[in-house]
Structure 1
Amino acid sequence: MFKTSFTLLALAVSTATFADEAINKNQLTDTQMERVVVSGSRVFESIDEVPASITIINQQQIEEHLKVNPELQSLLAQMVPGLAPDTGSSSNTGQTLRGRAPLIMIDGVPQSTPLRNGSLGIKSLDPSAIGRIEVIKGATSIYGNGASGGIINYITKQAKSDGKTEGEISLSSRFSAVKLEESAGARLSAAINGRADKFSYLVTASYEENGVQRDAQGDILGLQYGLSDAVTQNYFTKLGYDFDDEKQLQFSYNYFSSQQKTDLGDVAGDISLGEKTYAIHVPSELQKQGKPQGPEGNENITLKYIDYALFDKTQMTLDLYMQDIENVFFFSPNLANQDENYDGGQSIIRSEKKGARATFNTLIDFDSIEASFIYGIDALTDVTSQPLVDGRIWVPEMDMQSVAGFLQTKWVIADDLIVKAGVRKESIDLTVDDYRTLKLCKTPTQCSVPINVKGDTIDYDATTYNVGIKYNLDEKFSPFLSYSQGSDISDIGRLLRAATVNDIGQIQTQASIIDNYEIGFNSKFDNVRIEVAAYRSTSELGTTNKFNEVTGVYEPVRAPQEIWGYETLVDYTISANLKLLATYSYVEGKNTEADVYLGSKQISPPKATANLNWQPNDAMSLTLSYLYVGNRKRFAANDDGKHVGDQGPVESYNIFNLTGQYQFADNWQGFAGIENLFNEDYFPARAQSYTFGGYNIKGLGTTATVGVKYKF
């Protein structure tokens, strides 16, 4: 029978480390580290005690993928069952988790902007600063608003504990193997960490300049959310001080910027005709107008204090955090207003968050029951808006004040039966002042009608519950069953900017309660680990869009939704030096009121992945990865033979990547990677299904990365 989880939990609590630091301590073996998770309950627990689907991406897997593609979207699509395929761009719109939006976090601090979801949260940190990634699937309220699909938590690297200063420098170049011209880029990353008595420090920095990105035919990819000529910078530091063995303080700061600075212009194609949008060099008057698109210096500051022995068997964690986000979008002619001499516009999502969290963890050991009680209070202020660069206000300031209390319990009965139950009570006040919607013209005769909207403060009160059970009957069969709820007021900004009534109280801004049901099992044999899960989630209010032919605007439709699917994972150790990790996931969903399928903004086509790693000796390793994206053809074309919105048909495609590394000296390592090894000529799933202009951009052709790393 199992009795690994409570031992790991006790060890993690007793070690003199930060709550998210113990996973990297030498006290835990690599195998134990793989089986510990912190995101789901906000304290350490073993995966064996979690009645839900979890994906852990470790540092080695992150570094392997970094050799072929530095984009976190690509890494997550390859490694996480249930996450939609990579979009091949800086935007993760359409890259849902089990058909709903995930909450992106860095060390538990939200990076998403749920009040006006611009779908740029996944690209908020450089992979070189990440120690591991934890993905908790299914609606959850443990971290509050925006987690209707689950949680993607980037756990940053930690300073070593042995007192010795260590560091590394990596230099690489990425370029098109189809047509080299102008495609070569450069990437430099560095890190240093160490400990001096009670003080620990970690500093990482990365700087990357892309060349142009080319498709399988050698043409430059279209520029909408494009990565050609993008300049990305990330500077991260984490400082810690141990007052004693039981009390510690940690400060972290993160700066991230990634903007496309290019002199190219788009040649528009039509996806309904199979035509791609691609970029060429054009005169300045035809180049992309406005500011460079992308995150413009987003910042995070976090202060964490931990007392491992506040009371007998009670640990306390206090978090204070601040965040300043400014995400710049591309210039769009759809934001025109000829009456006021605007031939288009460019929007910015601005979000300022200030938050505080107090989390307590009390352990109680009865005769045959080990119980833990996790409880606390969260407070958050989130001020988000979406102005245009030219000064017009598209989405007014939304001032959200949130206070929540929560209790999460776990009962380990006779070592093998785990029962979890929890409740979260959240109170949200959302204040919006009086505003006027924008007049926007798709053509001179196709314009929205602006109206004056009376502002107000809207109160949301939601109580959500979760309960789960897992029975570690045997390593060969460990079943689980869970029910969880999430409260979501995501993308209120989209509702406000498309208002058709003159009072905010009449806009359908109600919170959506998501009910998530999941059943599955884990099995472990001698050389094989298997995970299988099936799920269903329902919500009385979804967020989809319908095209208004009169105004040319996509307007929100709040309607009940049902989403269902299944996932499977096989981890097979073929031999001591050959390992295979394979996954398959399927998701589908409907608007149950109209009995119609949901579009690809939420539902992705079937996906299969495989990663085969061969390590013949300690100095060398090779990894071959495979991505299969299947068909999804749920929608009929209009009378003119064209699809609308996000209802385009998706044809299947196959992508192979190859990476390798060789340790040619004690401190020196060379590495290389090839993306799209066989130069597949394809449109990514989003490009096929989105009929919106500018998204019909092909995927990368064969692209190579070569580099060297020095450790000291």
Structure 2
Amino acid sequence: MKTEKGSFRLSTVTLAIAAASTVFAAQVQAQEYTTEDTMVVVASRTPKAISDIPGTVWYIEFEQIEQEYRGGKSLGDILAATIPSLDVSSGARTNFGQNLRGRKMLVMIDGVSLQSSRQISRYLDSIDPFNIDRIEVLSGATSIYGAGASGGVINIITKKAQSADLEFESFVGGTSGFNSSEDFDYKIGQSISGGNEKIQARSSIVYTETQGFFDANGTIVTPDISQGSLQFNKAVDFLTTVGVNISETKKLNLLAQYYDSQQDSPYGLYIVGRDFVDVRKGFDSDREHGTERIMLSASYVDERFFGHQLIAEASYREEDQTYTPYYQSSGQQITDVISLKTALAKSFNRFNIVYGVDAYQDKLDSNQALYDPTIANNSGNLINRTYTHVGRYPGVEVSSIAGFVQADYAISDDWTIESGFRYQYMSNKIDDFVGYSQQKKIAAGKGKTADAVPGGKTDYTVGLFNLGTVYHLNSDSQVWANFSQGFDLADPAKYYGQGNYTLVGDHWQLDDSINVNESKMSGIKTDSFELGYRLDTGDLKLQTAAYYSQSDKSVKYNKETLLIEEIEDKKRVYGLEAMASYWVHDHIQLGASGHYVVSEVKGDDGWEDFTAGEASTSKANAWAGWYDSDLAVKVQSQTMFDYEDDAQNKLDGYTVFDLVGSYQLPVGSLGFGIQNLLDKDYTTIWGQRAQILYSSHYDSAAYDYKGRGRTYTLNYQVKF
């Protein structure tokens, strides 16, 4: 990075000095407080106190989530505000490039992974915050979960019935910037929970409808034609959870979710040839951006299973994801995932062990709708009517089975070591596939037949190891050191099924192609090291960690085809993350967090800055809040710092301020918020990334996805 290392160093040094002073003061107070340990499952698959974990764990409790979403924030915004090492939110449908510690993150709902072989990056457009109870986050690569967790794990825990009593929760609210009649969003939600001593259940439905997003100048935000915005979008989240107490030691938990988020926008990009002209009304397309998902899971816990604790989970997830028109076509990708997990845990005085088996099967099917070029060209690409469908990617089936073991041993009451190993076998089955370009040409009348790129099957194994230790300095603070390995699986759909063709008569002859059996696409392994410290006195909370991670390969994409060009070149990411909060008064809390990160790849001339199209940027947050029995209000800021890579691609940083709060009424409460309090005019991080990634297709202005201007949120919620 060339532009911002120096400017951020000053703030990093200031943060370090402040943290050191805070730690010294806190140590004096530490003996006077004893805080109750928070238990999480994200770090070890079974409940474990955060203070006993040799790693960086962030716990976002219900009160934080509720205050933020009632202030008008999305799930992506909430996570970016509460996790120091998570990049700022895209402000759009996608979380592409929103990395955790500079790498890809694994997102789960109640332990069920949202990961797929075709990484579409819509994990945060997956559940409404109204249905979230808490969020557990493990920063850094982990060997516990397998593919997709090289940056860390985010586990979203849904709301459950809290008792057998019949309870209702109702929500209604709206958001607007008052720019026009098209500048209004609203949300309504309703839940019901209850049961008896044996069965408790909660069922809810949330409906959200957005209209136009307007920037600080009152101009409608350019629709995101690449990965998708959430303008003019309708979303339904129907969630049911059931807990069955089979006996005192056996429990069954069931989850069923239907999530549907679909865009229906009257605005589109008026494009003539390759030139973007402006944003106009009259857009009408057979397909737009959307995600429809059905997810089912069942987990079983037996506290006394032959002297062990047994945890078993089975899940099924089907997703149907569509795209808006791009180059007079748009895709549909359907994913089916079946997963099985089992874990056994046992304690032997100072020794604890967890071991088990995971398995899943992931199937991908895809197609591309081709639009009538005459209708599209005559309308400036505003009107799109399908004339045929072709295949987009080869059919892919990924199967995996893994065994793992994690153990910890208390050397003393204050010192614990932890270690584990995961061994995973994976296979990729690729269908025969006629090249996408050739299918399009045949559909347009150029040629009649074509050879298929041969498919095949490839398999491989990967072993992941972790070792860590945590030492309790006193009852309120710990230091830890940790080494852990993670890995990512490059997208097989974007790697295989490619070939070079020659037209011979009316037949497309395959000259050469990627041979599946001779091009084994193994996992990209990441080694991660970290050293950290945390403190919780009740009034003061501090957690900080320095980390370094290096992977043996990285993925490079072709900007023209958007397919994987090569899988090579080592990548390293290192940095420092920290968060501190302090109750200066019974009603006043102050806090700050920061993340300094450097991402590099090893090229011909040594280590070079990672492309700005994907690299994480450093960031800082700060807040001040007032809390009493009736009123809770918080002012907060978020800063993204500049970034420039070796190719002079730039990301311009920005700072935005928000206000969120709630007021307790005699019945229910009012929630309120002002987003972008100072009405900052800026292009979102995704809008800037998209210009780098896609500008070879259209003018960069076509991807200038701006941040929303000042907006106001007001809502009412009642529980009875």
Q: TM-score normalized by structure 2?
A: 0.84
Match of 2:638 among 615, 618, 627: 627
The corresponding residue for 2:367 is: 387
- CA distance in structure 2 between the partners assigned to 1:483 and 1:508 by the alignment: 27
Correspondence 1:72-471 to 2 at 5 A: 72-113=75-116, 115-161=117-163, 163-177=164-178, 179-224=179-224, 225-266=228-269, 279-281=279-281, 283=282, 287=283, 289-295=285-291, 297-312=292-307, 314-333=308-327, 344-365=328-349, 370-389=350-369, 390-439=388-437, 452-471=452-471
Paired letter, 1:626: S
Post-superposition shift, 1:195? 2.8
Structure 1 residues 683 and 441: CA distance shift in structure 2, 3 A:
farther
Post-superposition shift, 1:451? 7.3
Match of 1:603 among 602, 609, 615: 615
Post-superposition shift, 1:95? 0.6
Match of 1:511 among 511, 514, 523: 523
Structure 1 residues 288 and 42: CA distance shift in structure 2, 3 A:
farther
The corresponding residue for 1:700 is: 708
Quick check: 2:608–2:646 contact (8 Å CA) kept in 1?
A: no
- CA distance in structure 2 between the partners assigned to 1:651 and 1:276 by the alignment: 23
Quick check: 2:496–2:514 contact (8 Å CA) kept in 1?
A: no
The 3-state SS of whatever aligns with 1:73 is helix
- CA distance in structure 2 between the partners assigned to 1:349 and 1:76 by the alignment: 27
Post-superposition shift, 1:556? 4.0
The 3-state SS of whatever aligns with 1:388 is strand
Post-superposition shift, 1:240? 1.8
The 3-state SS of whatever aligns with 1:439 is helix
Quick check: 1:453–1:504 contact (8 Å CA) kept in 2?
A: no
The corresponding residue for 1:710 is: 718
Are 1:572 and 2:567 counterparts? no
Post-superposition shift, 1:528? 2.3
Post-superposition shift, 1:374? 0.5
The 3-state SS of whatever aligns with 2:687 is helix
Structure 1 residues 427 and 348: CA distance shift in structure 2, 3 A:
same
Structure 1 residues 137 and 180: CA distance shift in structure 2, 3 A:
same
The corresponding residue for 1:8 is: none
Structure 1 residues 688 and 482: CA distance shift in structure 2, 3 A:
same
- CA distance in structure 2 between the partners assigned to 1:547 and 1:395 by the alignment: 17
Are 1:592 and 2:602 counterparts? yes
Are 1:685 and 2:685 counterparts? yes
Structure 1 residues 564 and 242: CA distance shift in structure 2, 3 A:
same
The corresponding residue for 1:17 is: none
Structure 1 residues 70 and 592: CA distance shift in structure 2, 3 A:
same
Are 1:656 and 2:657 counterparts? yes
Post-superposition shift, 1:596? 2.1
> Percent sequence identity over matched residues?
26
Post-superposition shift, 1:256? 0.6
- CA distance in structure 2 between the partners assigned to 1:536 and 1:266 by the alignment: 42
Post-superposition shift, 1:107? 0.6
Quick check: 2:614–2:689 contact (8 Å CA) kept in 1?
A: no
Structure 1 residues 31 and 328: CA distance shift in structure 2, 3 A:
farther
Paired letter, 2:134: R
The 3-state SS of whatever aligns with 1:584 is strand
Structure 1 vs Structure 2 CA RMSD? 2.6
Structure 1 residues 635 and 497: CA distance shift in structure 2, 3 A:
farther
The 3-state SS of whatever aligns with 2:361 is strand
Structure 1 residues 499 and 63: CA distance shift in structure 2, 3 A:
farther
The 3-state SS of whatever aligns with 2:713 is strand
The corresponding residue for 1:7 is: none
The corresponding residue for 1:5 is: none
- CA distance in structure 2 between the partners assigned to 1:329 and 1:353 by the alignment: 21
- CA distance in structure 2 between the partners assigned to 1:537 and 1:226 by the alignment: 32
Post-superposition shift, 1:636? 4.1
Q: Alpha-carbon deviations, 1:22-65, whole Å to 9, x = none? A: xxxxxxxx9647x2111111100001011111111111111111
- CA distance in structure 2 between the partners assigned to 1:464 and 1:261 by the alignment: 44
Structure 1 residues 630 and 497: CA distance shift in structure 2, 3 A:
farther
Quick check: 1:379–1:402 contact (8 Å CA) kept in 2?
A: yes
Structure 1 residues 385 and 477: CA distance shift in structure 2, 3 A:
same
The corresponding residue for 2:534 is: 522
The 3-state SS of whatever aligns with 1:347 is strand
Structure 1 residues 536 and 498: CA distance shift in structure 2, 3 A:
farther
Structure 1 residues 543 and 508: CA distance shift in structure 2, 3 A:
farther
The 3-state SS of whatever aligns with 2:205 is strand
Paired letter, 2:239: F
Quick check: 1:559–1:591 contact (8 Å CA) kept in 2?
A: yes
Structure 1 residues 623 and 31: CA distance shift in structure 2, 3 A:
farther
Post-superposition shift, 1:505? 2.7
Structure 1 residues 593 and 514: CA distance shift in structure 2, 3 A:
same
Are 1:581 and 2:591 counterparts? yes
Post-superposition shift, 1:682? 0.5
The 3-state SS of whatever aligns with 2:584 is strand
Post-superposition shift, 1:688? 2.3
Quick check: 2:455–2:497 contact (8 Å CA) kept in 1?
A: no
Are 1:545 and 2:557 counterparts? yes
The corresponding residue for 1:339 is: none
Q: Alpha-carbon deviations, 1:642-676, whole Å to 9, x = none? A: xxxxxx312221101111211111x3111211100
Quick check: 1:628–1:653 contact (8 Å CA) kept in 2?
A: yes
Post-superposition shift, 1:553? 6.5
Post-superposition shift, 1:193? 1.3
Quick check: 2:459–2:520 contact (8 Å CA) kept in 1?
A: no
The corresponding residue for 1:337 is: none
- CA distance in structure 2 between the partners assigned to 1:237 and 1:394 by the alignment: 35
Moved over 6 A (4+): 275-278, 440-443, 551-554
Post-superposition shift, 1:315? 0.5
- CA distance in structure 1 between the partners assigned to 2:632 and 2:392 by the alignment: 51
Quick check: 2:643–2:650 contact (8 Å CA) kept in 1?
A: yes
Structure 1 residues 220 and 267: CA distance shift in structure 2, 3 A:
farther
Correspondence 1:479-518 to 2 at 5 A: 479-496=479-496, 501-507=513-519, 509-518=521-530
The corresponding residue for 1:644 is: none
Paired letter, 1:423: F
Paired letter, 2:340: A
Q: Alpha-carbon deviations, 1:437-481, whole Å to 9, x = none? A: 2118999xxx9xx97422111111111111101111225752211
Post-superposition shift, 1:418? 1.6
Structure 1 residues 243 and 136: CA distance shift in structure 2, 3 A:
same
Correspondence 1:4-15 to 2 at 5 A: none
The corresponding residue for 1:54 is: 57
